[in-house]
């Protein structure tokens, strides 16, 4: 035993068993498992493992919801997300929550082992593919979004929800002309082509990211 106490949650029974067996074989102390978010939260709060490895999409509570609720309780458990998701919003959410590790399910166990050991040293360990997504796709867009005023951020989120300028004006109690002026300013700040379709396209490409802000 290497002394690291680990909890694992995943709603796929075969993956859960396979991962648990590998962890035990590598000498980790698996203190519990769960097949849904509610069971995961209960066991983590009860046993306070050093590290919890969670899937994102689970019944009852998602991995992110479990992490949020656990952090609110002040536990020192560190979290590793093991998932199939590469979407911008998921990667950004993981960064926002200061999750210690983020791995793809199709990676070899040796990668999971490296991640666990790094997290146990109080380091962060993201799969290279996730770091690439954050550095090349998310970070540049977040830098652009920083230049938008609070009103402009609200408008781009509404555009991402496919609201028309007239609908946005009604929702925000401003004139159609004011919305159009905001759109023009947003296009300039985001360094987009002047055509109005360019903003619509940008919001759709970054929809999940915008709605997670």
| Helices 176-189 & 165-172 angle (0-180, nearest 10) | 110
What pLDDT digit, counting tens, does each position of 120-172 carry? 999 999 887 777 777 777 777 878 888 899 999 999 999 989 999 999 999 99
The separation between CA 10 and the C-alpha centre of its own chain, rounded to angstroms, equals 17
Cβ 37 vs Cβ 60: under 8 Å: yes
Q: What is the pLDDT of residues 63-72, one digit of tens each?
A: 989 998 998 8
Name the class of domain 5-135: alpha beta
* Per-residue confidence in pLDDT tens, the chain, 213 aa: 578 999 999 999 999 999 999 999 999 999 999 999 999 999 999 999 999 999 988 999 999 899 989 988 888 899 999 888 766 667 777 777 878 998 888 888 999 999 999 999 999 998 877 777 777 777 778 788 888 999 999 999 999 899 999 999 999 999 999 999 999 999 999 988 877 688 988 888 887 777 666
Helix axes 37-47, 63-72, angle to 10 degrees: 30
Q: Which fold has domain 147-211?
A: Arc Repressor Mutant, subunit A (1.10.10)
Sheet containing 78-83: order of strands: 29-34, 5-9, 51-54, 78-83, 101-104, 125-126
**Sign of the C-alpha dihedral, residues 162, 167, 173, 176?**
positive
Q: What does the alpha-carbon distance between residue 213 and residue 199 come to, in Å, rounded to a whole number?
A: 18
Per-domain residue ranges for the chain?
5-135, 147-211
**Which residues have CB under 8 Å from 181's CB, separation 6+?**
none
Q: What is the pTM of this model?
A: 0.70
SS3 78: strand
């Amino acid at each position: 035993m290497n002394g690291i106490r680990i909890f694992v949650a995943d709603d796929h029974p075969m993956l859960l068993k396979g991962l648990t067996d590998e962890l035990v074989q590598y000498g980790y102390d698996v203190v519990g498992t769960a097949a849904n978010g509610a069971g995961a939260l209960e066991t983590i709060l009860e046993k306070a493992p050093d590290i919890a490895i969670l899937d994102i999409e689970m019944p009852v509570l998602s991995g992110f919801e479990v992490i949020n609720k656990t952090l609110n309780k002040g536990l020192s458990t560190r979290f590793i997300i093991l998932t199939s998701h590469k979407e911008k919003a998921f990667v950004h959410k993981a960064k926002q929550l200061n999750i210690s590790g983020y791995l793809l399910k199709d990676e070899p166990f040796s990668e999971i082992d490296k991640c666990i050991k790094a997290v146990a040293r109080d380091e962060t360990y993201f799969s290279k593919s996730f770091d690439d997504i954050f550095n090349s796709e998310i970070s540049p867009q977040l830098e652009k979004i920083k230049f938008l005023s609070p009103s402009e951020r609200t408008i781009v989120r509404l555009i991402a929800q496919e609201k028309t300028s007239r609908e946005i004006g009604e929702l925000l109690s401003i004139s159609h002309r004011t919305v159009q002026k905001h759109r023009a300013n947003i296009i300039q700040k985001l360094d987009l082509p002047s055509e109005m379709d360019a903003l619509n396209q940008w919001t759709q490409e970054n929809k999940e990211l915008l709605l997670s802000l």
